[in-house]
Structure 1
Amino acid sequence: MKDRIHLREWVDQYRTFQQQMKRTSIFTCRQRRYSLIWLISFGFYSCELRTTSDTDHHARVDSLINRATFLKFSEGVERSQAFLDSAYARFPEAGVMDTYRKYDFLRGNYADPNFKMDYGKAVAYVDSLFLLLEANNGKINYPKEYARARLLRGDNLHYLKQYDEAYSQYFQGKVLIESTLDTCQSSQYTSRIAGMNYQEKNYRKAATYYKQAYREVMTCTGPNDFDNLFVSPQGYLSNIGLSYSNLEMPDSALYYYEKALHFIRQNEHKFPNQQDFMAMARAVIYGNQAVIYLKRKDFPHAEFLLKESIRINRQKGYYNRDAQFSQAKLCEVYLVSNRLEMARLELLSLKASLDTLPHPEASLRWNNLQWQYFEKVHQISQAYHYLKNYLVLRDSSDHHKAIFEDMDQALRNLGSQHEIELLSKKDEVNRLYLIGTIAVLLLSLIIVFLIWQSWKRTRKNLLKSAELNQRIIGRNTQLQTTLTELERSQQENNRLLQIVAHDLRTPIGAISMAVDLLIEGQFKAHKPRDFLEIIKSSSANSLILIDNLMHANTSVTKKEMVELQGFLSSCVDMLRLRAQEKKQEIDLRTEVVSVFLDRQKMWRVISNLITNAIKFSPPDSTISVRMKKNVHTVSITIKDQGIGIPVQLKDKVFDLYTDAKRAGTAGEKPFGMGLSISRQIVEAHQGKLWFESDVSQGTTFYIELPVQ
């Protein structure tokens, strides 16, 4: 049974949307199999650090970050980052902490699991924090911020599974925190150790460390410190409850959940501008409590809490992802209590939410619940379909996790090493004083000797260097020429491989679908022999296609007289299974006519165009394929009822490496090569290929070939 966990980085993002919110916090969301209590921070930075002022502008930066957070939740991460970059470009007087807050916000932008996480940008932003602080003597002037940067770097290394280096960074952050004599700040380090133990399922240790972090953060003072005075304490209390829930100690878990809610009630009046955050915090805790009652089969209580959690977090600007997890849990309540109609309606609602706000883990749960629902209503084929989807998604989300039983020992060893290093440094200083005097004398003698030797060799070396430079220049020229030829060859090889991969998708896809239907025993519309014929034909086409592509990609090499009626029927039959998967029909109408052409090359053209029609057409639609003989030509049209081609993309669709790529109506991946290859083949037959399209009205492709 899944549960939730308070995540520090999510609150980093939400908190800045409110007035006077700061940088570090912890909030609650559900824990999946790969959920982390601590998150690695991600970000992108151009590595250009400008000089900052000594004066900070807290109110102005609060306003900018609040606006950036609003844009993030309403228009996306990229829009938020673009706004902040633009605003700071017009803010040359920004102080050190002003700039620190910008980097910290952008770093957290890409660590939010509710948006697209981009680990590649984390290192740059954390490095930017270090560059900024070190350029301004951060260890002395900004010790707390410098210590926090150490912890963030440790997070990055931990994500990269460089555990020894990660623990070293955590320990260095701990030493810096202790040097400030700030117990409040120590909670950041302690909570990370708690998070690592929770991640490794050491729940008892995790609970102990979260209790310590709670005691430490409760020493914090400051009337406007919303993070340390409210967000972190209630988060730590809820995390203690989660730890006990995983230890199968439900009474203890409920005690700490109630304690977290009591803390919110007692302190919410101190922060009147944070009511939205407090509502979300309650909603998430309600969801955690519901898990306990579901385990106890107290369905009415669990249902009430989940509905309240969904009601709050489903609102615009609230924690909508958590509402999705609560919906999934509510579906589970309905299924376990055999209220199947209510389960069906809730599953439909959850699917609509996922269509608007996709999330892999919620989709995984939805497929699992769909499977269970259809199994209960005895629709075995549907249940099998969603079970397959669930297993595929589950396998793709599994990540190897190392178990660190000696984590505490590693941290103690680092502490011992630190003490030894301090003693060694004292001894080293004393030795350096003694050695220094001797070294100065020896170095003076060596320098005099080297100057004399250097003077003797200078003229000889200059001549040799000039000769050597000429040789190097010649070699470099040869190497550059060779490299250019290799690059050109590599580009051509890559293009060939892309064409092979693209054109092999259709026959191999037909083989795969035929095999699946044979395995599943679906012989209503076709006999087994029909599927074997498709497999045989597709295999032969694949082999011929590979042989042709190895010699000439699109040139016409083998023309023969082809009867188009049978040729088109064969192409349509091969792709009819793919259309049936999307509940589509292919309507073929032809005339009797023969044309002199390269059968295999033209098969690639027809296959590409029908495949595109299937990809970009909605379910329950019809794809029309028509062939008509004219006086000197024969025309083939392929018309769909799909999404159409926008005006701004019409001039790009025939480019080989076009950027006019769009996913299909069922999420099929785009490749952007088929139309370019098809036009080359048609033109090699002295024919023409063009199209007509209106957005949302469908697209019609026309092929005109000469009759010889």
Structure 2
Amino acid sequence: MKSLFSIFNFFISTLFLLLITSCQKRTVDKYDHLKNELNKVDSLLLKGENTTIKSIYNKIDKNKISSKAQLAKYYVLGSIMEGQNLEKKIILAKNALKVFDSPDLIKNEEDLYFRTLITNGDAQFFSKRYLYALNYYFEASDLIKKDFDKENYLASKFASIYFKQNNFAKAAKYYLDSYDFDTKSAIKSMLKSDFYRPEMKVNNAAFCFYKNNQLDSGAKYYQLFEQLIDKANIKKEISTKYTNTLRAILYDNLAGLNIKTGKLDSALNYANKSIFLLSKEEEEMNLTPLLKIAEISIKTNQLKNAKKALDQSNYLIFKYFQNYEAYYPIWLKQNTAYLYKTNQINSAYFYQNKYINLIDSINLFKQDVNSVDIAKESQLINQRIELNELKYNNNIRKIYIIALIQFMVLVLIIIIIVYRNLQRLKIAHHKANEQNAIIFKNSVEIEKANKNYLRIMRVMAHDLRNPLSGMTGLASVLLHETQIDEENKKMLKLIETTGMHSIEMINELLKTGLANENEVLEAQKLDLKALLIDSVELLQFKAKEKQQHIIIENKDLDTPVFAKVNYEKVWRVINNLVVNAIKFSLIGGEIRTGVKEYKTSVVIYVSDDGVGIPEKNKETVFDMFTEAKKTGTNGEQPFGLGLSISKKIMEKHQGKIWFEDGINGGTIFYLEFPKEQ
């Protein structure tokens, strides 16, 4: 009986072991399959095989990925593949970073962690958040301080920032350093798809030399670029399709080089060859050679060809390039030249102004990247990293001791300075009293002069309004005359519009800007929510002209919100803020407004998603006739009075007006009224 039991027990144990082995084998097979699929996507990205990558990647079920390292790689590859969807690119990169939730995982997968940091930096870079990108790059650099190869790899990242800053000489140097690293590095297999191919870095360096007018150096490295393409093609490192793409890029750049050297026939030949090599899937890459063909055709008076190239390139810009600041200005410039050549002067003048305005706008947005000092930021970030390291070791005590000594020295210096200043103050006190008496006397005289100035200005404003009204009315009547030709009607319309703007500005000045400072404010207890709704409803038609939506938040709540205010003046303030939001928001934008009640005050807010207020103008937006005024997004005329007037009205209500930057762009203005006690 005991023998039978032993045989049964052995049988059960053997069966159990077989089941465990079978399950483990299936798990390993499944892990290997997912690993192979991810590696396949990685390899295809490196070779430029973009057609099948997404289909393979989308078939991978991330919920079945049990390895944290493979999950991080899954997110990294997804971020790299994302094109125009920058928000998703950032989310995927951050998801990859979240996977590294322990020091042990970072230590065991250091290469992948390095790659994850670089991917996060790239995502921030493409989203124009350059300081965030630098933080990730320097964190990656600090991770591999003793690894010269990886540090050199970061050269291409810094080159990109220098290129954005138009520092082409430094950008070229960093691209060539990175290329040198590519040819010698032993970690290519680790970097794979986010590793730029050596050929493209040589091309980027050549393009930097071209942009820096070092044309001989540009030609030299374009020649090297062509040799590298041939070499990679012979070794079958890249597909035939990707080879054609690289050659198309080369020929496009050679076309630009030949235009600069005046060899227009060669340039035209290169541009046509570039277009010929590109497939239908790469239609958007036809844009730059088409722009070059347009430029050459204009210079050689082949105006039909120029018109055709301009039409085709304009179509591609608006079809493929949501952020077209790199190409649309070039198109505007070439189109202006074409219109001048064909004697379409009015149209040429229109597009020339559009080009100038767009360049000004682009230069404004480039301030962020131009303000980035890589060397300085490198120093600051490295100092921060070193400080964090010091916090985790016993040497932090030395920092406290040094800080204490410095503090004591500083206190001693302050005591000496205070003592010396007290001595000087005793001497200066008497002089200050004398100066105060003089200042008081002068201020009284200035106040009298200001009152006289206001009286004169009110008289002038009244006197100017009558002839302006007559001029505007006469222009309006003449516009309806049938005997006046179109050219004169345009001039009359201009006179009418200018006169109306001038009258509107004078009315604004008379109502508030030049109003009596001692005027008693007639206020009454009013429902601010009802006042806001009335004001906004009257402006809905104006918003609809730009296809905008004004949303009144908490509109349906029945509770009124009371404060003691002057109806007409507060209506004017709300009207100014909402009109500004409409004026400086893009077509199709969204404007939000509402009322918030607090214990001692009531706050009205107006929020938009428009162009916002530049940092340099924030301190002067409430000044009368401020230099911070600018034209609206649809060409609306500014006066520079609205916010100044609004501030004066709020001060008469013992209230406040201020603004903040919106989280997603635009501006939020706030009006705070005290509650009636």
TM-score of the two chains, using structure 1 as the length reference: 0.48
Which structure ranks higher in relative contact order (CA pairs < 8 Å, sequence separation ≥ 6)?
A: 1
TM-score of the two chains, using structure 2 as the length reference: 0.50
